[in-house]
Amino acid sequence: MTPTPLFPRYHGIVDDVAAFEAACLSPLPHFFWTNPLRTTPCRLTQRLQADGFQVRPLPWHPAAFRIPAHQTGLGRHWTYLAGHFQIQEASAMVPALVLAPAPDHRVLDLCAAPGNKTVQCAVAMNNRGTVVGNDLVCGRLSPLRQSIDRLGLFNVTITCHDGVNYPPRTGPFDRILVDAPCSCEGTSRRATKRSGGQPSPHLRFQHKQILLLSQAVRRCRVGGRILYSTCTYAPEENEAVVDAVLRQFSGRLAMVPFEVAGLRTSEGLTRWQQTAFLPEVAAARRIWPHHNDTGGFFLALLERTDGSEDDPVPGFIDEKRQKPGGFQHLSARRSDVLRMMAHRFGIPPGVWDGLVFLENNAQVGFLATHDHRPPDLAEQSSGLKCVHLRPRYPILTTGAAAAFGPLATANRIALSAEQRDAYLSRLAFTPSAEQLAACHGTGYVLLCWQETVLGLGFYGADQGQVASLFPKSMALSGVSPD
């Protein structure tokens, strides 16, 4: 029986149909990029290779790597749980690379969930400036919050708002990413059951895609840039959307040509079926799965060249600024937490210099950078979740323990490999007398492996055991992200 062609509607625009179909039917490798806030690419690859992973660099990304599809468990490795890298499909890494945000930028990811591109921008900005990760559905933002805390990011605000109507009072942005909802044809290699031969409702998404990109133009400052992307092959959702918005903002918007050295791409289409697009749409780029052994992707980089800017730029977070949703600056509790950190762990009190301490309903403390300029929306949270504000004794989060624990001089326990796995599985373990040499009786302890602070535990001197406080959502007994 002759096999059903995959995506036959695109055979006329693919350079090698046989190679394209073969790639679509082959397993997708696993990809990841290094978090330079925690480690280096060299150190990370050495640790993964020591545990049997066949790590290969991506030729077009200096800090990103791949492992074969048959190797699993990457998201359960201790380096992932410690925030040393982020798992992300290779073609999905390209938008943030092309957008090239700088530390002094205000960046908006309009359709952020699950947030990989948001945190990629935040890391590229060296944990400075302002990154806003927004999504319409609040529940879809949970992975972004987890990534912020795991990677140790202070420069990200999460908002939950309809991107089509993102408010003018949020102020202009220097860079905006619109990774629009789409028919997702380019992700077929990851699908459990591939359905590439079936037609997709491309026009169902087009209207919203145009509205999202149009709103991004309005929220972008003059001279700022917008990256529109999808993970589909459909010209109706790609070139047609860009063409429509270029015509809508004629004279105020321009295409920006770009290339990523080492990454093979093809030009955007200027004609599809009976429809002709503006010639400048050719500056967009298509990523086909058989060219780089990735998923499929579409990218278009635009620059706002003219137009009025009436949006006020939000100010920095400071002691006088009250934030909605129960957030406010807390100088008193800040001192309490710093005092606890110094007394219990020997962490110097100046460790929060350059950071603002925020409270959420007197229950959770967050840390954000002083140069952070978030919007002012009801549904939002800013910075790294730092501490649980208990009435008697504040408790550090795993993210804060990993971020500031390397500076600790007391109540640190160096784990064995067996104890490390027990801790990451939320199991109690018994430390030796030698391991307890720097510990001072019952209380919270920092747990370390190979000079990396994994998180927090509680040592009970009476029982002689350490209880794991590693988050349930990340524990080894849970579901692996890969």
Yes or no: say if 83 and 151 are a contact pair by the CB < 8 Å rule. yes
The C-alpha atoms of residue 350 and residue 400 are separated, in whole angstroms, by: 15
Q: Is 51 helix (H, G, I), strand (E, B) or coil?
A: coil
Query: Among the residues of 267-397, which ranges form H helices?
Result: 289-292, 331-345
Beta partners for residue 457, in sequence order: 445, 468
> Looking at this protein, which amino acid is placed at residue 79?
T
Q: Which residues contact 36 (CB under 8 A, 6 or more apart)?
A: 63, 123
The C-alpha atoms of residue 467 and residue 444 are separated, in whole angstroms, by: 9
Query: Among the residues of 227-330, which ranges form H helices?
Result: 239-248, 289-292
Alpha carbon 330 to chain centroid, angstroms: 28
Query: Among the residues of 368-458, which ranges form H helices?
Result: 398-404, 417-424
What are the residue numbers of the active site?
231
Q: How far is CA 167 from CA 215, 216, 291, 366, 393, in A?
A: 9, 11, 40, 24, 39
Tokens representing 215 are 């709103």
The C-alpha atoms of residue 24 and residue 12 are separated, in whole angstroms, by: 16
Q: Is 272 helix (H, G, I), strand (E, B) or coil?
A: strand
User: DSSP strand E in 256-354: where?
Assistant: 266-267, 271-272, 275-276, 285-287, 297-304, 327-329
